[in-house]
Amino acid sequence: MARYDAYLSSPISVSIRLLEPVQLSIPTTEQRVPGDPFTADVKDHPGWVAYSASGEAEGQLIYAHFGSQTDFAKLQALGVDVRGKILLMRYLGWDGRKVRNAERFGAAGVIFYSDPQQDGYHYGDVYPKGDWRPPGGIERSDAIDLPYPGDALSPGWASVPGAKRLRPEDVPLPRIPVLAISYGSARQLLGYLGGNVAPYDWQGDLPLTYKTGPGPARVRIQTKMNNGDRPIWNVIGRLPGKTAPDQWVIVSNHHDAWVFGAGDPSSGTAALLELSRDLGQMAREGHSFRRTVVVAFWDAEEMPTIGSTEWVEQHMEELLDKAVACINMDSAVFNPDRPLSVSAHPVLHELFREASRSIPDPKTGKSTFEVWRDAQNTFRHTPTEDGWDEFFNPEAELSEPYVFAIPSDDADAFFDYLALPASDMYYGADYGVYHSIYDNFHWMKTVADPQFRYHAVMAQLQGLVVARLANADLLPLDFATEAGFWRRSYQGLDKSSHEKGQQVPKLREALDLIDQWEMEAKGLAQDEIELLSDPARREAAQSHLMELNQMIYKAPRNFYRPKGRADSPEQRNLFFGTSYDFQGVSGTSLPGIRFALDQGKVQEAEREADVYLEALRLRVATLRSIRQSIANIR
């Protein structure tokens, strides 16, 4: 049990009252569903937003679409002044940033809701009949917009009991009241908005014309929050490795939820408990893997990823030394009618695909590999909550499942901080009870996964990947696939910089190095096969495996940048990063170069490009030296 002190948030009460043109109390709790016992006490679970300020705000209402930078610019262009107003915003994107935008432009308060266009009847039957958000469902979230994940008051260090803490008032947490309502409630408010007809692409799926306001609707919102330090606990278990106890394979899930969280996270927690039981059984029978398996149940993932981040901060040096990968789940099952969704460091992609080949799909009897790929082909033109990533081409028919390149959730700290192979996954990224009271056992049992067969699929997938990583003779990290992602990323950057008239010839130099890297990676994979398939050499290899695996699992550190990015020292992964600038995209590949180019700083981009070239040369040298070591084994 690892304890940290964390600055947490919880609600005491929230309310909205429509004052003009009519007086009306707007529901801020969800609706009871007949037959669903978990909804009996909806009144105890208001539509709150974590880290909202406590307070009251009154003003005319404005519909601000998603509340993005672009949306605020559009409001300005339409002559809509948001100062002193209450902004009604739809979910999608980075909620903390939306609230920050509202504050920057002088808004008095924010109301969030999830439009049926996002996860409601636009996609299918709503709960309790189907998996999508009913008119009374409320999505909860956090309104954090800090340039670091984890505990708000201990940036960069672990908030172990007694550690230094910042004061909340010195940290840019929300200063205005923020709360969340259902689309049923939002419809009531939108019906009282006048002013401009909102732009074409701002129109949602409620049966009315969305207008921007301000007014005539005038509302008063009140939030009473209980924000403060409280203990959180990660639960950590260990099955020490037989031959390489200092090579750690971490397998994890979080255990906190917004309300009941049958899907998010308990479906994943349950799967990991099953895996833990199996590992316990193994241990009792005297078995273990070649490497150490660390089982971790994180706390406070929802506000945001505090448990995992603090643990990584506490064990940073040890993890850099010992961690092979973190195979995080987050949630096992949301919607088995939608594609399995795996996001992982690219060295892990092939491993996930391979594992999926041997897991039968419960409904069809086909392999999970096939069902995963086929479902992605079916839905590749459908917008997805998580978004197809920058590397995905929806026009091309997939011949194998597509794994997203950027993990998130509790994988963040491992991936962003330490550039470690990490992943997260769930069956069906798109569904509609997300962060609502309806994400409960009744929903899971009647709608999502009544026989828990997809829970089993996910437990098997996570378990197989972990077992392979923990027990393989040679670690199955696939550097060739990784090279492909870097190439696509460099090509995209080269193209977009040329379109902007920016000349960065070093981008093309990198492409040459990536070609070499890919060639060496493919050579290495071949070398490994030859080594292990020749009985004599395999025998000779045994005494070298420790050293070889050491070299292999350390290779991802080629892209670890000890001092972090200049604008965000916590972010040390050269491949991916998040910008906290208001102009740029928020998360992207090759962040060092791209953010500089976004800001028009070509010289800085060139300096960054040099850092990347050096890392790429190191990568090529690393692969060559592993191959040399293998060649020496006779």
Residue 541 phi/psi, 5-degree rounding, is: -75, -25
Cβ(225)–Cβ(10) below 8 Å: yes
- Interacting span for a copy of itself (CB under 8 A) from 379-387, 403-411, 472-480, 562-570: 379-387
- Interacting span for a copy of itself (CB under 8 A) from 171-179, 375-383, 542-550, 602-610: 375-383
Question: For a copy of itself, which is the closer residue by CB, 126 or 405?
Answer: 126
Taking the complex as a whole, the smallest distance from the CB of residue 203 to a copy of itself amounts, in Å, to: 5
Question: For a copy of itself, which is the closer residue by CB, 10 or 209?
Answer: 209
* Site residue total, a copy of itself (CB under 8 A): 22
Taking the complex as a whole, the smallest distance from the CB of residue 270 to a copy of itself amounts, in Å, to: 28
Cβ(100)–Cβ(581) below 8 Å: no
Question: For a copy of itself, which is the closer residue by CB, 130 or 213?
Answer: 130
For 364-371, the CB contacts below 8 A with 24+ separation are 368/340, 368/457, 368/461, 369/400, 369/401, 371/340
Nearest CA to 28 among 200, 178, 143, 249?
Answer: 178
Q: In the stretch 175-204, what mask flags binding to a copy of itself with x, by CB under 8 A?
A: ----------------------x--xx-x-
Nearest CA to 247 among 289, 287, 279, 291?
Answer: 291
Taking the complex as a whole, the smallest distance from the CB of residue 404 to a copy of itself amounts, in Å, to: 20
Taking the complex as a whole, the smallest distance from the CB of residue 428 to a copy of itself amounts, in Å, to: 14
Question: For a copy of itself, which is the closer residue by CB, 266 or 376?
Answer: 376
Among 205, 473, 509, 604, binds a copy of itself (CB under 8 A): 205
Among 46, 116, 421, 592, binds a copy of itself (CB under 8 A): 116
Asked whether position 381 contacts a copy of itself by CB under 8 A, the answer is yes
Asked whether position 395 contacts a copy of itself by CB under 8 A, the answer is no
Which DSSP symbol is given to 411?
Answer: G
Helix or strand run (H / E) with residue 350: helix 349-357
Cβ(143)–Cβ(166) below 8 Å: no
Q: In the stretch 253-282, what mask flags binding to a copy of itself with x, by CB under 8 A?
A: ------------------------------
CA 107/CA 99 separation, integer angstroms: 9
Nearest CA to 464 among 492, 423, 520?
Answer: 423
Taking the complex as a whole, the smallest distance from the CB of residue 117 to a copy of itself amounts, in Å, to: 9
**Which runs of E-coded beta strand occur in 122-261?**
141-142, 178-180, 218-239, 244-254
- Interacting span for a copy of itself (CB under 8 A) from 19-27, 115-123, 562-570, 612-620: 115-123
Residue with tokens 């709360």: 179
CA 150/CA 300 separation, integer angstroms: 9
Burial state string for 578-596 with b = 16 or more CB within 10 A and e = fewer than 16:
bbbeeebeebbbbbbbbbb
Q: In the stretch 209-248, what mask flags binding to a copy of itself with x, by CB under 8 A?
A: x---------------------------------------
Among 358, 382, 542, 628, binds a copy of itself (CB under 8 A): 382
Taking the complex as a whole, the smallest distance from the CB of residue 47 to a copy of itself amounts, in Å, to: 21
Cβ(367)–Cβ(358) below 8 Å: yes
Among 383, 387, 394, 600, binds a copy of itself (CB under 8 A): 383
Q: What is the DSSP string of 310-335?
A: HHHHHTHHHHHHHEEEEEEEEEEES-
Which DSSP symbol is given to 417?
Answer: I
Which residues in 118-137 contact a copy of itself (CB under 8 A)? 121-126, 130, 132
**Which runs of E-coded beta strand occur in 240-322?**
244-254, 291-298
- Interacting span for a copy of itself (CB under 8 A) from 206-214, 284-292, 517-525, 543-551: 206-214
Residues that bind a copy of itself (CB under 8 A): 116, 121-126, 130, 132, 197, 200-201, 203, 205-209, 379, 381-383
